[in-house]
Structure 1
Amino acid sequence: MTAELWPRYDGPEDLPLIEAVPLADRGLPATTYDVLCRAAALWPDRTALSVLPEAARWRDHTDVTFGELLGRVNRVANHLHGLGVRRGDAVGLLSPNCEDLVVATLAAQVAGIAAPVNAGLRADHVAELLARSGARVLVAGEGVDTSGIGVDAMVDLAQLDGLVAGQPGDHFVGAPPVATDIAAVFHTGGTTGVPKLAAHTHANEVADAWMIAANTLLDEDSVVFAALPLFHVNALVVTLLAPLLRGQRVVWAGPSGYRDPALYGELWRIVEHFRISAMSAVPTVYQVLAQCPVDADITSMRCAMVGASALPAAVREAFEGATGVRLLEGYGLTEATCASVRSFLQVDRPGSVGQRMPYQQVKAVRVEPDGSWTDLPAGEVGVLAIKGPTVFPGYVTGRDAGGPVVDGLGKLVDGWLDTGDLAQVDEDGFVFLTGRAKDLIIRGGHNIDPAVIEDVLLAHPDVTGAAAVGRPDVHAGEVPVAYVTVAAGATVTGADLEAWAAARVAEPAAAPRSVDVLDALPVTDVGKPYKLALRADATQQELSRALRGVDGVSGVAAVIGDGGVVAVVDARSTVDEIALKEALGGYTVPWVLRSAR
């Protein structure tokens, strides 16, 4: 007998009761296609999607029912099948968010494997990612640069309806996917200069979507707002698949999503009109919204979910104070599909990003010199590891006759995923992040691989060494900056190299905001690069600038400790502590005040 699909999940005390029933007995659909078919069968005439053309014209939205969505997905999947796409073949998706992209993304997982790519990347970078995915067909949005991309066929999203008009909408003509098939590959930042492609099985995506949807706070009548790009796992899992499982309506923002300045002036009216219950965004979005007057009835909003980068306390206080809406933190990564940790409305664990989600295990480990792991007791800081049904099978490293070949590349140990993040885990499974074991720069929730910046700078004829790190930023959490060494006698300046990098880095967001020329880059005692020292320098520069106008501050130092950076502010006893807190409140850097006697 199948257990209840939607158990009570309101607080941390519900976790053991949920896990008393094996996940296999919950009756989850096997694949993302089964999720869609189930939704169309249960709620054929209910609105699944409301898609806005752009923020300024949100009243001109189009609506799609669950039944209509299935019909459109079947027609597009059948067209892809007719173009030769089979189970192990990837379909590239290169477009800003729009109604047809939602359809094409689901259809690609029906016919083959979805391979979404950020359309904001340079054309040669896009071509490289699509080639690595093995994409046979590319579905591209209007105005997207497709030069240099080698695929068997291209599909123009603007012409999609006409192309698929003759295809059957009541079924998929090919062999449907099964749970163990790869559903999608997502490019993700790594520790090398080449982005990796993380593979997700259908079972991965369905399990994680169910864990997100199994939230007593929201029900079938809840409406979700979506504005993150569909090349990001959050958009796919949190705001597409989870609502499909629960029968919830999703309001999709226009092509620019949260990057559309007009959205911030309209959002509260959009919330009132659609009676939106929840939204998902990165901290920088909430920082801007905290400054926007609440000019509508937003009492329908139960919560706002936040993740992807650290949430400054000042942003939480400002947003919740201005709106009365609670921010619920979470944690996840592409290699664990999307979400692994969540918070609760009525539970406060200061400093925690939340409790592990059902059927996912978390622990902190110490990585020994020989590469083996030692489990650490509750409360001790180590590398965070995750195990469970959402952990990916590996990165795409090649292809064979059956499709993509995947390999964990050292990230998987006996089914456990090495997240690369430092954390402590308490006895109740609450996770407290303390830093990053990896060097990724997280700008507004977007991962930037420092090697991408370093490779560009090292291509300059005068540069002999380069290191990129994140500098604290009030608006983006972090922005990339770089440090270089140059050849003897070279006259190139930091400003020259900043312009050089801006013209050559594949993505504008990854261009370094500053480049400092040093006599030597810092190294550890054994000669390895020591980026913590550079992060400390960048932190000191930024916070010194932020505190320039605060009376009584005599200086600031950035101190390295426990794998992170802490700011120490030197001040006279007459310091204006209110101004001090206001100046530093938007940063995620921990700081202490050292007053002169």
Structure 2
Amino acid sequence: MTTTPVIRTLQDIRQIEQTPLAARGLPASTYELIQRTAAAHPQAPALSFILQGSADEPAYRLNYMELLGKITQTANAFHRLGLRPGKAVSFLLPNLPQTHFTIWGGEAAGIVNAINPLLDAEHIAELISASDSELLVTLAPFPGTDLWDKVAALRGHLPQLKAVLCVDMANFLPEPQRSALKAQRGALPEGVLDFDEVIAACPADHLESGRVIQADEIASYFHTGGTTGTPKLAPHSHGNEVAMAYCMNLVTGFAPGDVTLCGLPLFHVNGVIVTGLTAFIGAAEVLLATPQGYRNGNLISNFWKIIERHRVSFFSGVPTIYAGLLQVPSEGHDLSSLKYALCGAAPMPVELIRQFEAKTGLTLIEGYGLTEGTCGSCANPPAGERRPGSIGLPMPYCEVSIKVLDEQGNYLRDAAVNEIGTLCIRGATVFKGYLQGSKNAGIWVDGGWFNTGDLGRVDGDGYIWLTGRSKDLIIRGGHNIDPQMIEEALHKHPAVALAAAVGKPDLKVGELPVVYVQLKPGQQASEDELLAHAAAHIHERAAVPKDAWIIEAIPLTAVGKTFKPALRFDAIARVYREQLADLPAVQQVEVRSDERCGQLAYIRLAAADAALEQLIGERLAGFAVGYRLEYAH
């Protein structure tokens, strides 16, 4: 693969793209990608793992030759158990070395299907069935985890499963704790295979299948569309994933000696691709920071110590992680190994970026991507100008365009500079459609561009700015919530005529779900009663609304659809009014559409007052929606 210029401007990206991607000599598959790196850097550190998140615990480590061997053994084990190209192995695992063996070994033998372990059992079963999985890899019974209990409850409902393999976390414990825990727990459940024992019996130096993987063969399924509601499975080809790793590393510049900390889950494309395959293509090291990742309180409290001890050069997070890390003192720690950090998955308030960079001295890069684009599509250039609030420039070979669509979603024209339209993506990293054909209606516009459902604009220098979401997903700390599940639960209440769920701004997690309710004529219900009903009928805790607001009538469009922008504006205004409630000079808070920002809060004051204006700025600094002051006099 030929060398490329450092990306500072859009012109550098265009120069890189002068050479077609097909001429870059990329490997045909993810397995070949790891093979190439292992051949070039066999002794380089590839994968390390810490179990508890303490600063001084020893790490489990593999070099690239050892990692390739484990992946090859896993592929051979799956092949012996009947996995073939076109068939899937599902995994239900936290972040463990064996999770990486399963992902890349599964792709070498067939298709790997990533499942969020936090989902309820019914949703998990639906994903296993939808992916046509015949194998399942999950966690053996272990203190503090309930994964095996979920799987045990499901096994009778999944007759298509030929085998269940269990990863035993007890193997990471030192003696005598390891033997004591295994003795206390007893043997694995009947008919369940020990993952480590099964792969140890397989060769590590070749694929027994003899498979030669083509770039257009499906490598993985990732579910999208939120953690509630009917899931959509997005198939990624080997070519999609290899191209994504290559294009992303043109931005991140991972190289031997770099250490990327993975704290995001490996059922999500960010964890798998950014702090996974992209590191592998650059021969960098991936540090799996505990099975729970950022959900481990020890990891967060010891974060800067771990950065210093393991000489971490990069990590990726969501706004809630950065807000949490602001509360952990970084002073006195050697953070010189850190080059920068990436933020994606949810909009990052500009003030939070400013505070984090000022406190840590670390450069924070905002990016944008989605599962349908394999992972990333845009990022601010680390070596160029970063524009806080912007999602940056398109990554090389990742086509991004703003399209003006009509009310039915049909293409009208490309947007002008700074004109708001629908953000669409195209290129080697974009999937070819959801596995379930019924989900593909209306997703393509203007000859093969994927409609992301996000609204944005492109400025004169090519930087892209998101101005809103036409999709209705509520993003709680990077965690997608489908409002339909909330609405369906509320519609089961006998007094409810209409319910509409939206996100309200929140300083800690970006958005929290709330629901607006219109009662049936003559019916009564309190907001507390509605919240209790929602909690009883919504099985995903993150999706339970924080407020139920009863209003006279749900706003509707001319064709009778719920008009959610009006509700989002109202939710923002309610939150801002609450923040400013003790300031009597604030007369009114109203949220309106804005051509450049998408939405703005207009705050009316009795008169100009510099001290009051500063106080308002401090109160609202952490929110993503901007504001403008107006004066009565």
TM over 0.5: yes
C-alpha change, 1:58 and 1:374, in structure 2 (3 Å) is farther
Structure 1 window deviating more from structure 2 (186-195 vs 71-80): it is: 186-195
Given the alignment, which residue of 345, 367, 370 partners 1:333?
A: 370
Matched, 1:195 2:201: no
Question: Which piece of structure 1 moves more, 337-346 or 582-591?
Answer: 337-346
Matches within 5 A, 1:138-177: 138-142=136-140, 143-144=146-147, 145-146=150-151, 147-149=153-155, 150=158, 151-158=161-168, 159-174=194-209, 175-177=211-213
Moved more, 431-440 or 210-219: 210-219
- Equivalent position SS for 2:413: strand
Unaligned runs of 5+ in 1: 399-405
1:229 corresponds to: 265
Residue 298 (structure 1) aligned with residue 335 (structure 2):
yes
- Tell me the equivalent position of 1:409: 441
Question: Given the superposition, is the C-alpha separation of residues 505 and 152 from structure 1 closer, same or farther in structure 2, using an over 3 Å criterion?
Answer: farther
* Distance (Å, rounded) in 2 between the aligned partners of 1:51 and 1:322: 28
The alpha-carbon distance between structure 1 residues 323 and 190, as it changes in their structure 2 partners (threshold 3 A), is closer
CA contact (8 A) 1:193 1:455 kept: no
Aligned amino acid, residue 40 of structure 2: L
AA partner of residue 559 (structure 2)? V
Aligned to 2:45, which of 44, 47, 63? 47
The residue aligned with 1:403 is none
**Match for 2:109: what amino acid?**
A
Pairing 1:356–2:401 present: no
Partner residue of 2:187?
none
Match of 1:389 among 428, 435, 439: 428
Contact 1:395 1:409 in 2 (8 A): no
C-alpha separation between the residues in 2 aligned to 1:561 and 1:315? 22
Residue 136 (structure 1) aligned to one of 127, 134, 137? 134
Q: CA shift at 1:394, angstroms? A: 0.8
Measure how far apart 1:29 and its partner are: 1.1
Q: Distance in 2 between matches of 1:192 and 1:256?
A: 21
* Residue number in structure 2 paired with 1:343: 380
1:532/1:560 contact within 8 Å kept: no
Q: Which residue of structure 1 lines up, in the alignment, with residue 602 of structure 2?
A: 568
2:16 partner amino acid: I
Equivalent runs, 1:10-159 vs 2, <5 Å: 10-56=8-54, 59-142=57-140, 143-144=146-147, 145-146=150-151, 147-149=153-155, 150=158, 151-158=161-168, 159=194
Q: Give the stretch that moved more between structures: 566-575 or 324-333.
A: 566-575
Mapped partners of 1:313, 1:391: distance in 2: 29
Alpha-carbon separation, structure 2, partners of 1:418 and 1:58: 47
Supply the distance in 1 between the matched residues of 2:424 and 2:615 (Cα, whole angstroms).
Answer: 40
CA distance in 1: counterparts of 2:586 and 2:56, whole angstroms: 47
Q: Deviation at 1:234?
A: 0.5
Alignment partner, residue 250 of structure 2? 214
| CA pair 366-335 structure 1, distance change in 2 beyond 3 A | same
SS at match of 1:395: coil
Match status 1:540 vs 2:573: yes
**2:177 maps to which residue?**
none
Instruction: Output the amino acid matched with 1:443.
Output: R
CA apart distance, 1:377? 2.1
Contact 2:237–2:431 under 8 Å retained in 1: yes
2:513 pairs with 474, 480, 493, which one?
480
Q: Secondary structure at the match of 1:255?
A: coil
Cα pair distance change 1:125/1:191, threshold 3 Å: closer
Q: Is the 8 A contact 2:90 2:112 kept in 1?
A: yes
What residue ranges of structure 2 are gaps of 5+ in the alignment? 141-145, 169-193
Instruction: Measure the CA separation in 2 of the matches of 1:227 and 1:358.
Output: 26
The 2-side partners of 1:453 and 1:362 are apart by 32
- Percent identity between matched residues is 40
Q: Which residue of 2 aligns with 1:445?
A: 478
Q: Which secondary structure state, in structure 1, belongs to the residue aligned with residue 435 of structure 2?
A: strand
Most deviating of 382-391 and 568-577: 568-577
CA distance, structure 2, for counterparts of residue 235 and residue 6 of structure 1: 25
Looking at structure 2, the residues matched to 192 and 49 of structure 1 have their Cα atoms a distance apart, in angstroms, of 32
Q: 1:517 and 2:550 equivalent?
A: yes
| Aligned-residue RMSD, C-alpha | 2.1
Q: 1:5 to 1:131 in 2, by over 3 A?
A: farther
Cα distance, 1:129–1:463 mapped onto 2, change above 3 Å:
farther
Shift of 1:267: 0.9
Counterpart secondary structure, 2:376:
coil
1:464 matches 2:497: yes
User: d(CA) in 2 for partners of 1:508 and 1:210?
Assistant: 37
Distance change >3 Å, CA 191–CA 93, structure 1 → 2: closer
Cα deviation, residue 480, structure 1: 0.7
User: What are the superposed Cα offsets for residues 226-257 of structure 1, whole Å, 9 maximum, x if unpaired?
Assistant: 10001111011101100110000111111221
Partner residue, 2:179: none
Post-superposition Cα deviations, 1:101-148, rounded to whole Å, max 9, x if no partner, equal 121111111111111111111111111122111111111123401122
2:191 alignment counterpart:
none
Q: Name the count of aligned residue pairs.
A: 588
Deviation at 1:369, TM superposition (A): 5.0
Residue 173 of structure 2: aligned partner: none
Look up the equivalent residue of 2:164 and give its one-letter code: M
1:248 is aligned to: 284
In 1, distance between residues paired with 2:130 and 2:494? 30
| Partner amino acid, structure 1, of 2:613 | E
Choose 186-195 or 260-269, whichever is displaced more. Answer: 186-195
Inter-partner Cα distance in structure 2 for 1:570 and 1:335: 42
Counterpart position of 1:375 = 414
Q: Determine if contact 1:367/1:373 at 8 Å carries over to the other structure.
A: yes
The equivalences for 1:546-557 within 5 A come to 546-550=579-583, 552-557=585-590
Answer yes or no: is the 8 Å Cα contact 2:403–2:411 preserved in 1: no
Give 1:351 deviation, angstroms: 3.9
Distance 1:138 1:83 in 2: 11
How many Å apart are 1:427 and its aligned residue? 4.7
Distance 1:209-1:313 versus aligned 2 partners, 3 A rule: same
Deviations 1:206-238 (A, max 9, x none): 111111112375432221111000111101110
2:238 maps to a residue whose letter is: H
User: What letter is aligned with 1:317?
Assistant: R
In structure 1, which of residues 421, 431, 436 is the aligned counterpart of residue 464 of structure 2? 431
What whole-Å deviation, never above 9, does each CA across 1:430-476 have from its counterpart, x for those lacking one?
21111111111111112211112112222333333211101001011
Query: Per the alignment, do residues 137 and 216 of structure 1 end up closer, same or farther by CA in structure 2, a change over 3 Å counting?
Result: closer
Q: Helix, strand or coil: the match of 2:417?
A: coil
Contact 1:532 1:565 in 2 (8 A): no
Amino acid at match of 1:446: H
Query: How much does 1:550 deviate?
Result: 4.4
For 1:289, the equivalent position in structure 2 comes to 325
State the Cα distance separating 1:176 from its structure 2 match: 4.0
Residue 589 of structure 1 is matched in structure 2 by 625
What is the deviation of 1:393? 1.0
Distance 1:510 1:369, change over 3 A: closer
Alpha-carbon shift at residue 366 of structure 1 (Å)? 1.4
Mapped partners of 1:213, 1:260: distance in 2: 28
Q: CA deviation at 1:189?
A: 1.3
State the 1:11 CA deviation: 4.1
d(CA) in 1 for partners of 2:121, 2:104:
24
Opposite residue 412 of structure 1, the aligned amino acid is W
Counterpart CA distance in 2 for 1:107 and 1:271 is 29
